[in-house]
Chain A
Amino acid sequence: MSLSKRTMTLNLTDAEMQVLEELCARKDLSKTALLRQALRLYQIVETRLEKGDKLFFEDDKKEKAEVMML
């Protein structure tokens, strides 16, 4: 399986880079893998919201809180 790939340069602030590096360490992913994962997740969320679905977080007491997407 070999998908052709295109390269881009990404400019991040120090704070953004720090978060990226922390997430990479926590998730055991490279920066590229993490950003590709973030893109997939963002697309799913946007697609569902565009269809009129709502996004909720649920805590361990099964309390649900809607995530407001502006």
Chain B
Amino acid sequence: MSVTISPVYLFNVERGQPEAAELWDAITDQQLADWEAEWIPELFKALQKLRRAGVERKHWPQSRHWDWRRKAAALQGILAHQGFSVMCNGLTQGMMFVDTTTKRCRVESQKSKNLVYVKFVENAPWNRKELLFDPPRYRGIGSILMRAAVELSHSIGFKGRVGLHSLPQSNGFYANACGMTDLGVDPDPDYSPMRYFEMTSEQAVAFVEKGGKS
């Protein structure tokens, strides 16, 4: 598999300064090994902290069940599903799979047009405040991955259009940092109670112009 690696920067919260990182247009064995050996143990520790802090199970992150190795195996070789990852300090800091084929736009002004649908996106546990990593180690991963989705959308002729279903803890990020349109809770039982967000071509331009930053 040929992988294109682009230089990006994350914000190192502890040092209070940017740190050189890489955006990969793939999810390879290296990222999956990080997920198994680094993410999962940290996630279990975080769940233990949540439980001991008395946080109700319904407020634990839904993505705790995600099996990235299984997802990668299922989507391997399928042109419609592309993976992305962010690497920094020798470790995977975030991963994303997108679907470029099976979903269509819902916002009236671009209804039924093609878009890049963000199927799965997740930060490493140590970058997530909701897992009680406070402060998180790095910031900016979500923005870099969203920017990658927008750029992919442009490169395949979809003019920056992007859509996704948001986990509750991320609603504010997509509405405010990304400037996406919130179409509310999806009535489809496969997605409910997740909210559906969509980025129009104009919103994609605005997001990129402000530097894709939160």
Contact = CB atoms under 8 A, between A and B. Distances in A.
Interface residues of A, number: 19
A44 B101 contact: yes
B165 interface: no
Interface stretch (A14-22, A25-33, A53-61, A62-70): A25-33
Given A41-B101, A44-B102, A33 B156 contact: yes
A7 to B, nearest CB: 16
B113 A37 contact: no
B96 to A, nearest CB: 13
Contacts of A47: 78
A1 B6 contact: yes
Contacts of B6: 1
A2 interface: yes
A25 to B, nearest CB: 12
A32 B189 CA distance: 36
A48 B152 CA distance: 25
Contact of B80 (A4, A32, A41): A41
Given A33-B156, A33-B157, A1 B148 contact: yes
Contacts of B152: 1
B4 A2 contact: yes
A40 B4 CA distance: 20
30 contacts: A1-B4, A1-B6, A1-B23, A1-B25, A1-B148, A1-B152, A3-B2, A3-B4, A4-B2, A27-B113, A28-B159, A29-B114, A29-B157, A29-B158, A32-B157, A33-B158, A36-B156, A36-B157, A37-B100, A37-B101, A37-B114, A40-B80, A40-B100, A41-B102, A43-B78, A43-B79, A43-B80, A44-B80, A44-B102, A47-B78
Interface of B: 2, 4, 6, 23, 25, 78-80, 100-102, 113-114, 148, 151-152, 155-159
